[in-house]
Structure 1
């Protein structure tokens, strides 16, 4: 293992290499030139003096006035220096970089934030981000759904449902060709009539996308507040008995079951669970104990 002295030496070499590779914080503004020298003004010059100096130099070095290639390059530098010095914020940042050239990372970050951060509307960035996320989410949901459908189609239960549907459409006359296998075209036609409900991989819906949810967020929050207010008034203040829908919600929440899993339960099981009033802790504890005893008995 390397000694602490060797590690410090390597760290020093690494930091020195990074600093050598990074351009000085002043040069990111006007390359290797001084912005004030390019315009021929002092650092204490006011905005009027800077503007006059720029117009004077632009008349001399503008490509329309001077076709010399070197003059054209100089004009680009002059125009860049004027853009930096005419704005109070960027000028103050440049002056700070001159006084503190050792703060490379800080000066560089301020430069790029000033020149590129304000050019992009945050609302456009937000909209673009939501569109990208929604597109990826929608594509992922369709991929998961198609994969789940392909897996379901390989199960015997699906094949039996498909065969039953074929017999129903053909009036009970089964096709005996191809070892009793359904023709691919017929199979695709029949499969469109089967409504596949696959837990965990439902068919994608635009209403479930993050972008749509963000747009509808005010409506969703208002609806949620109204729901909680009605719940509090009905069951906390008026002490009314729970409706079957609300009792179902409490039961599902107590069990930690997903909404789609609860919907797929048969009505008799739902009624039994609701009648147990599992949102009451003692009833829930009793139900868990019964399930454990039932599980041990089956073993």
Structure 2
């Protein structure tokens, strides 16, 4: 009968015999392969970074394929470059020295070596800066494109075009009498440019098609975020002090803010509303939450009544009661 530890003893013997062979077979993929990187450059392990660079330059000039026509020159040049890349970096050199001193850590260094080789060489901070810059540029150009689309559309609307033409003529921006040597196409282009200029200066375009501002760009927002955060804290503290502690009445701006919050609108959405509509909301006292909820319920009931009286909606409800899209007829 074999002793109790015979299995572990046999496994240890196999590892002792075959592990060095396995490592030698696999070490070719790491650093300088089976050769010592220090020996490849002809230096000692105590060599400085300057001495490593000097040795590399001398050997690179000697074995460069353009200058050395030997059959193995390219292979030697590649090995020299690999040795230099391994030893010039302090972190890589420390890992390589650890491999030389502790061959049993081969698998650990195998992972770290290829992680370093595959990992991007660019600083993550640079990647973040470039990404934010690209997003900001695309964002800004996109806003300008939408704004120009809005101006071009308004030029085609008859009532805006007629009014803009009158203003352009009053300001002397359009004068078809003095044609000179200009072609009809040139006169038309000048007229369109003048109309766009008038509409751009006279119209108050709001919402998603409003004129872009640098302060809305992502980069600027991130830079100014601490400042705006501090302003918000100050504003919130002042609000609580004035209206929660001292119980002061709301002013016009405060009422508008409360109404925007009740409606759940963003600043852009709220600014796109007509001033007359905001005034009607003020008269109804919709800044008070209780009044707003009652008004909203009334609006919903009124909408239900309108839909109930709408013939199209009646036909739709009748169709849904009869099965809607899942209904099967004899023709089916």
Q: TM-score range by the shorter chain?
A: 0.5 to 0.7
Unaligned runs of 5+ in 1: 1-23, 176-181
| Mapped partners of 2:214, 2:255: distance in 1 | 29
Unaligned runs of 5+ in 2: 1-25, 178-186, 311-332
1:8 corresponding residue in structure 2: none
2:116 corresponding residue in structure 1: 110
2:106 corresponding residue in structure 1: 99
**Displacement of 1:121:** 4.2
Say whether 1:132 aligns with 2:130. Answer: no
| Mapped partners of 2:225, 2:234: distance in 1 | 14
Q: 1:185 aligns with which of 185, 190, 197?
A: 190
| Mapped partners of 2:168, 2:51: distance in 1 | 88
| Mapped partners of 1:269, 1:78: distance in 2 | 78
| Mapped partners of 1:142, 1:97: distance in 2 | 62
1:222 corresponding residue in structure 2: 230
Say whether 1:208 aligns with 2:208. Answer: no
What TM-score do you get using the length of structure 1 for normalisation?
0.66
CA offset digits 1:17-49 (Å, max 9, x no partner) = xxxxxxx8963644xx34x534339xxx98417
Larger Rg: 2
| Mapped partners of 2:192, 2:117: distance in 1 | 64
1:7 corresponding residue in structure 2: none
RMSD, aligned CA? 4.2
What TM-score do you get using the length of structure 2 for normalisation?
0.61
**1:251–1:279 Cα contact (<8 Å) kept:** yes
Say whether 1:272 aligns with 2:280. Answer: yes
Distance verdict in 2 for CA 1:62–1:82, change over 3 Å? closer
Say whether 1:40 aligns with 2:47. Answer: no
Distance verdict in 2 for CA 1:183–1:82, change over 3 Å? closer
CA offset digits 1:149-177 (Å, max 9, x no partner) = 2233333332343354367568xxx99xx
Distance verdict in 2 for CA 1:234–1:25, change over 3 Å? farther
Report 1 or 2 for greater relative contact order, CA contacts < 8 Å, sequence distance ≥ 6: 1
**2:52–2:84 Cα contact (<8 Å) kept:** yes
**1:62–1:75 Cα contact (<8 Å) kept:** yes
Distance verdict in 2 for CA 1:297–1:51, change over 3 Å? closer
| Mapped partners of 1:261, 1:101: distance in 2 | 57
CA offset digits 1:63-86 (Å, max 9, x no partner) = 269963555762552343144146
| Mapped partners of 2:208, 2:245: distance in 1 | 38
| Mapped partners of 1:128, 1:235: distance in 2 | 45
Aligned runs of 1:161-180 on 2, under 5 Å? 161-165=163-167
| Mapped partners of 1:125, 1:166: distance in 2 | 49
1:235 corresponding residue in structure 2: 243
| Mapped partners of 1:288, 1:230: distance in 2 | 30
How many equivalent pairs are there? 256
Alignment partner of 1:278: what SS? coil
1:61 corresponding residue in structure 2: 59
